[in-house]
Structure 1
């Protein structure tokens, strides 16, 4: 891989600053009130500089989603795969839940990027990147679930269906966490909830009939 030039590194650094600024703005105002100009003002740069990185606010939101969920994907693919699939799935659910529960602002982003017609509003380059990451994420879980089915550890139900069950159930749990005041819960209470939730999901999957 060719090393990045100084100019490329600076461009990447500024883009990360913009994504951080969007996250910080989300803690102060609703998403619909945030503009390219307010993001630029937040970090003291000209609005025109933002447009060197993205064409619209939606593109910036998509890039933030790519960064945050990309970090989660990287954590997941590095989980030890040389174990029974149910054990791996439990670790992945726990990892995903802990990551998302500690990033409450991402609940707003996740809802927005999964809203109808969101992808149609993106520039072609960003839309292609989003779709590629979605397929990569889905393939990782579907392949793992299929392995569990083939090895007889997971009920013989279409792998995509099982992945959808986990995904939609986790969305409900995330919304419950994001919709409350996390400061009301101690770290130990959150840990207990995460462990109970993970066991509940895995137990439900394993108890399904073929």
Structure 2
């Protein structure tokens, strides 16, 4: 099968995000200028640089009460900060609850029963029980092709790691089983981990 996206695919559901998978999930927490907090998952998310450490996520839709975007990007435009909370398998239901099209005044931490803690370097809450949290200051918000597509790039200025996830100085993902996004309504969980040496490595 071959198709040009501009002409449609002819399938019952768009296969694009199923093809590009699994994708890590950035559970993004923000606080608006007025103090309202938001927590929402984004699967167009990844780390993009080491020095300084930087991450990105993309928002691809809009809400009527936010104009051309959603709560996360709207809050980031106001404050310039956000926190990435790593999603473990055990938090899958709470994460899914925060994905709803809730009003901008709705506090997803409370709605989903997620315990919050203060960030250290930025004025924002984080998911207290997350395996890790990345506190970020925005470096760029890039308008992408399409009416509501924005990529947000942030520099990581603070990192929280849950103590039980550190084993002999290594951040051990088998201790919490990261959740990943597939296509359609599908998710995956990381349970099997193996190592490979790059050519030329000692």
Shorter-chain TM-score category? Answer: under 0.3
Choose 1 or 2 for highest CA Rg: 1
After TM superposition, the score normalised by the length of structure 1 is: 0.27
Structure (1 or 2) with the greater helix fraction: 1
Greater strand share, structure number: 2
